[in-house]
């Protein structure tokens, strides 16, 4: 049984709504009077979750790397919150009654928790079905990731795969077209047809996609850059790319 802490008003509210059965306790800053905190306490009470009023210093110790805003939830889970069987998940979606084409975001060794959190937030807004990361050299669902994601860490399925290239091949076998973002690509994002089943691949901070990941993609694309800066932050590039898919499908 794993235990983790989630801090921040948005993150805790999302956890209470989507994973209440996994919350062991809610810690609330005792000298803080906030309507939003009282609402969270009422929601916790509705799910029979114990609430404890504690000093701010204790909250700081529980989630030292995030702004907790006076509330922290203790989660008990049988896993890290990250899923593993991507292939079965995709096949289930494809076999279901849904009419929308799949949209998957793949992050190749993104290690900054702020970037993963921002990508999850954009993924939720764009209706992404799953976010995929390698099991090694990638950040997981840390308190910082959950805080930055503002609830999206609880709504967007996150998959860790042991071999990213093999996982991309399985997506391709399922009929999903894999597009990779690369500055050296000749075709622009806005020239692609993104209306079918699509997986968008983003590289890590600084060095971009690994060579084998790049070679596994069906096609590479670039974001047209008009200024002096040669590249964008991975979370910004992901947001632009995802919403081009949304624009085309709408």
List all residues 6 or more positions away from 93 whose beta carbon is below 8 Å from its beta carbon: 102, 129
The total number of structural domains that make up the chain: 2
The reply to whether 70 and 179 lie within a common domain is no
226 & 134 share domain:
yes
172 and 107 together in one domain: yes
Q: What is the pLDDT of residue 78?
A: 46
Both 119 and 72 in a single domain?
no
125, two tokens: 């807004």
Binding-site residue ranges for S-adenosyl-L-methionine: 203, 223, 232
Q: Do 119 and 39 meet the contact criterion of CB atoms below 8 Å apart? A: no
Residue whose structure tokens are 């008003």: 9
130-134: strand order across its sheet: 158-161, 130-134, 103-107, 198-202, 177-181, 219-221
Q: What is the pTM of this model?
A: 0.78
Q: What is the pLDDT of residue 81?
A: 56
CA distance 14 to 3: 17
The Cα 199–Cα 178 span in angstroms is 5
pLDDT value of position 79? 46
Report the 10 Å Cβ neighbour count for 31.
8
Which amino acids are annotated as binding site, given as ranges?
A: 203, 223, 232
User: Are 71 and 134 found together in one domain?
Assistant: no
| pLDDT at res. 84 | 73
In this structure, are 38 and 90 located in the same domain? no
- Domain membership of residue 45 as a residue range: 2-77
Cβ(126)–Cβ(101) below 8 Å: no
Per-residue pLDDT of the chain (250 residues; tens, 9 = 90+): 467 788 888 888 888 887 788 888 999 998 888 889 989 999 999 999 999 999 999 998 888 777 888 998 888 754 445 777 899 999 999 998 888 999 999 999 999 999 999 999 999 999 999 999 999 998 888 878 888 888 888 889 999 999 999 999 999 999 999 999 998 899 999 999 999 999 999 998 778 899 999 999 999 999 988 887 777 899 999 999 999 999 999 8
Q: Does residue 143 sit in the same domain as residue 228?
A: yes
pLDDT the model gives residue 2 = 61
Q: In CATH, what number is assigned to the domain containing residue 30?
A: 3.30.1330.30
How many Cβ atoms are within 10 Å of 18's Cβ, its own excluded?
Answer: 13
Are residue 69 and residue 104 in the same domain, yes or no? no
Domain boundary among 15, 45, 77: 77
Instruction: Point out the domain boundary residue: 42, 57, 77.
Output: 77
pLDDT in tens, 78-117: 444 577 789 999 999 999 888 899 999 999 999 999 999 9
Which of 59, 77, 95 delimits the end of a domain?
77
Q: Is residue 160 domain-shared with residue 213, that is, in the same domain?
A: yes
């Amino acid at each position: 049984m794993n235990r983790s802490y989630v801090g921040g008003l948005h993150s805790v509210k999302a956890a209470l709504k989507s994973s209440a059965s996994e919350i062991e306790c809610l810690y609330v800053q005792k000298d803080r009077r906030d309507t939003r905190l009282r609402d969270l306490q009422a929601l916790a009470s509705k799910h029979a979750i114990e609430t404890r009023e504690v000093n701010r210093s204790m909250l700081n110790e529980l989630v030292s790397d995030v702004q907790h805003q006076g509330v922290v939830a203790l989660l008990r889970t049988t896993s890290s919150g990250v899923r593993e069987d991507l292939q079965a998940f995709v096949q289930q979606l494809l076999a279901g009654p849904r009419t929308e084409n799949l949209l998957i975001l793949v992050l190749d060794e993104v290690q900054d928790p702020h970037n993963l959190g921002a990508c999850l937030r954009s993924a939720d807004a764009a209706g992404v079905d799953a976010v995929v990361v390698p099991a090694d050299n990638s950040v997981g669902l840390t308190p910082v990731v959950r805080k930055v994601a503002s609830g999206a860490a609880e709504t967007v399925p996150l998959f860790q795969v042991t071999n990213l290239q093999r996982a991309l091949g399985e997506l391709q076998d399922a009929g999903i077209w894999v597009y990779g973002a690369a500055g050296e690509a000749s075709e622009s994002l806005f020239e692609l047809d993104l209306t079918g089943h699509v997986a968008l691949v983003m590289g890590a901070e600084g060095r971009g996609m690994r060579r084998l990941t790049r070679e596994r993609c069906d096609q590479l694309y670039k974001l047209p850059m008009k200024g002096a800066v040669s590249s964008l932050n991975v979370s910004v590039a992901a947001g632009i790319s995802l919403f081009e898919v949304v624009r085309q499908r709408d």
